[in-house]
Structure 1
Amino acid sequence: MIPKAPQAGMVLHYSFLWKHEAKRGQEEGAKDRPVVVLVLLADGEEVVVAPITTLSPDERAPALEVPSRVRAHLGLDANQSWISLATLNRFVWPGPDLRPVPGSSPADALYGFIPQKLLDAAQQTAMAELAKRVPGLVVRRTEE
């Protein structure tokens, strides 16, 4: 099941396309993963999402650690995780890249929501990165 309307702070299961994958011409991410909805655009018709990853970020890469209590609340594995803000995806809601959370019954794309304080920090970091006008920071996804 896909939520009818997106909300900032949602954590969804999604085929995230990293900047390096897009540069190679890929149209779909190599791995489905949790993502955080950061921003709603066009009255919620488009969203911008950031990936959650267990790979430790490069010291220069913008990322926020996901606290263990938040990981547990969302049902993510116990490994240390980060919201990476080095690549963002933008797509028309709901788009074809939402996936059911593994093991969800009935099938559901929603893990839950991150706390407002973590969402605020992620949004502020994303805005700071966007202000730098880094090429390829936002990967636009197709509607197909």
Structure 2
Amino acid sequence: MSHWPDPVPGLVIRYSYLWRREADQGREEGVKDRPCAIVAAVKNDPGGKTVYVLPITHSMPIDHSEAIELPQQTKLRLGLDGERSWVIISEANMFSWPGPDLCTLPGMGPDSAAYGFLPPRFFKIIRDRFVERGHQGDPGLVTRTE
């Protein structure tokens, strides 16, 4: 029986993220596991949760309005590498928790998918910018199903 963490906004998890461009090409699986920030978790019927995650990437965005750089101190606290990284706010994956694309952290046991939490003020900036972009147009959601 799995005991995945509760999907709380601000939690950074390991997840097989499917980029929107890949979904538009007909892909159904992400190419690699990556850290992703839970931006929202909504209760649904029959008692589960729908989770929205934003990818974290080393690739510097061409359009800086589409991402927020992850502070180095936060990366180190989460146990991520020392390279610069960005939280992408121009797209998200949506799935029923825990879903088949949640991944365990290497060397951390069979049910450990969480790196830890983003600092509350930093998370609020990410969440607010993601919501604002959604109000301005296409939020770039990719719905993942089992």
TM-score, normalization by structure 2:
0.90
- State whether residues 5 and 112 of structure 2, in contact with CA within 8 Å, keep that contact through their aligned partners in structure 1: no
Counterpart among 125, 136, 141 of residue 138 in structure 1: 141
- State whether residues 9 and 38 of structure 1, in contact with CA within 8 Å, keep that contact through their aligned partners in structure 2: yes
Counterpart residue number, 2:124: 120
CA deviations on 1:64-97 (whole Å, 9 max, x unpaired) are 1111110000110000011011210111111110
Counterpart residue number, 2:4: 3
- The answer to whether structure 1 residue 33 and structure 2 residue 37 are counterparts is no
- TM superposition shift of 1:129: 1.1
Counterpart residue number, 1:54: 58
Give the 5 Å matches for 1:76-91: 76-91=80-95
Gaps of 5+ in 2: none
- The answer to whether structure 1 residue 100 and structure 2 residue 100 are counterparts is no
Q: Return the alpha-carbon distance in structure 2 between the equivalents of residues 107 and 56 of structure 1.
A: 31
- State whether residues 2 and 109 of structure 1, in contact with CA within 8 Å, keep that contact through their aligned partners in structure 2: no
Q: Return the alpha-carbon distance in structure 1 between the equivalents of residues 33 and 123 of structure 2.
A: 21
Gaps of 5+ in 1: none
- TM superposition shift of 1:3: 2.6
- TM superposition shift of 1:105: 4.0
* Residues 61, 19 of structure 1: alpha-carbon distance in 2 compared, 3 angstrom cutoff: farther
- State whether residues 2 and 94 of structure 1, in contact with CA within 8 Å, keep that contact through their aligned partners in structure 2: no
CA deviations on 1:41-69 (whole Å, 9 max, x unpaired) are 12661111000101001125411111111
Write out the 4+ residue segments of structure 1 that deviate beyond 3 Å after TM superposition.
Answer: none
Count of residues paired in the alignment = 142
- TM superposition shift of 1:5: 2.1
* Residues 60, 113 of structure 1: alpha-carbon distance in 2 compared, 3 angstrom cutoff: closer
- State whether residues 4 and 111 of structure 2, in contact with CA within 8 Å, keep that contact through their aligned partners in structure 1: no
Q: Return the alpha-carbon distance in structure 1 between the equivalents of residues 69 and 92 of structure 2.
A: 16
* Residues 47, 32 of structure 1: alpha-carbon distance in 2 compared, 3 angstrom cutoff: same
TM-score, normalization by structure 1:
0.91
Q: Return the alpha-carbon distance in structure 2 between the equivalents of residues 106 and 48 of structure 1.
A: 23
